[in-house]
Structure 1
Amino acid sequence: MAYRPDTLENAPLGRDAAYPEHYDAGLLYPIPRAANRAPLGIEEGKLPFVGEDEWHAFEVSWLNGRGKPIVAVARFRLPAESPNLIESKSWKLYLNSFNQTRFADQDAVQSTLTRDLANAAGATVSVELLAVDDAELTPQSLPGECLDDLDIDVSNYTPSATFLVAGEEVVEESLYSHLLKSNCPVTGQPDWGSVLIRYKGPKIDREGLLRYLIGYRQHQDFHEHCVEHIFTDLMQQVKPEELLVLARYVRRGGLDISPWRATPGLTPPSPLRLARQ
């Protein structure tokens, strides 16, 4: 079926919606990335980063050919260069539409997900179906040094790149914080997360970096765009040789989102899941 990228005006997010039980690919609601990237100076076709949006879905179920329920955890990876992201509530509704639908086998489910999500995103989407007790879902820790014990005063809760300053010493380090919080751009609901920053370049002032990250506390945007905002500000203010920004957001509605953006050649530690997810 043909998908039409749309604005948030008609998105299911923030609206009452019936939860379908029978398969319906038309529930997926794509949203163009370009509108949120333009204010950051990011041009489509000239992305300053590579990356993916990694999703985990914990409420995935369907019926086998004999009507017996099957359950799984799904992992999806959307490339950052895809023209569209997929609105999260529409994704949840779409997955719920599998609940009372019969499929011949797991391969049929996986191929259906792969096809529908690629159509909505406008690019190839990776789909894995994991057992609910798969070892890859075991919680782990972020690598590097945590910033959260820094004793700082904070009075600004909107992102300000002026906090991002660096010295002359060139270092290679990984820093992380569990204090990331942003808000849904439609409903205003809080989105909690952790963020990892791995870089090689002028040493970033840690107190300033933590103040900057806390600045997203009242910011309203999608998870994916928050990560691109952080990446862009760090590149512009600090000018590192290498940079990776990875956010792992807490699960909401049976879905979690973990976007990452990096300079070419860097990849995130994977698989990696945190206890709050």
Structure 2
Amino acid sequence: MVFLPYPYKPPYVCSMQSGKLKTHLKTDIVISGAGPAGLTLSALLGLAGFDVVLVDAEAPKPQAANAPLSGRTAALLNGSVNVLKAAGVWDAVKDISTPLKIMKIVDDNHASAALRASVEFRAGDIGEPQFGYNIPNNDLRAALLARIGKIKAVTHLAPAKLVDYTADASGVAAVTEDGTQIQARLIIGTDGRQSIVRKAAGIDAKIHDYDQRAITCLIEHSKSHNFTSTEFRRAGGPFTFVPMPGNQSSIVWVEKTADAQKYLAMKRDEFEKALQDRTNGYVGNVK
């Protein structure tokens, strides 16, 4: 595990137990999970004057210049963009973010185009220039990591994984996979659907498998998307393309699991034809 070098850290001590070096950290708040939610919250709390230890399962990766985009993006509404602004992150991602000015929904359960009902929602109708922005996940994470690296009150443990914690009137005692012990006043779980924080707290969850899988990718197209996010509603699941810079869109394509596996096993030209069929020509030719 690597302690990233920030100018300030909450008080900590090291001791030897059973021949192994053990680290003990004391902080105001420990956050488990460093997706966009955990990273943003760490920045906001650090800026508010709280000492924060962020436990991140993923090691930071250098962001190469002109690195190819992945298929994962975050479509954030204006309220979430305002949170990024408050965290001091927005300026780092605004130039690579694409505004979402129109939301379109199409009932695509009919073979005949004449029977396909659709509806559009325009941001201008509610007095806004856009509903929000679409941001590449890799760039958003890189910007958030850079931001917390400049906040003295935030300690970032990465790669690290929370395995357990106990809580009583005096606060929280948490432990990571490598034995690091963290004493805090509050613990926050932003660690996803398999949340260790939730499980350790004894909070149950009801899980239902819809037998669906999501395929994500980026496409290029010959027509402009006109800053329109379009969702085609189908029996197997929605097919959505969300604007990216230029004539590009990010795709979230949901299908029944067996069908998704068939599409993923296709050759590139077959897969592109399947994509083309599902866009109904809205953005021209795709690849």
The two structures have a TM-score, normalised by structure 2, of: 0.22
Larger-Rg structure: 2
The structure showing larger relative contact order (alpha-carbon pairs under 8 Å, at least 6 residues apart) is 2
Which has the larger share of strand? 2
The two structures have a TM-score, normalised by structure 1, of: 0.23
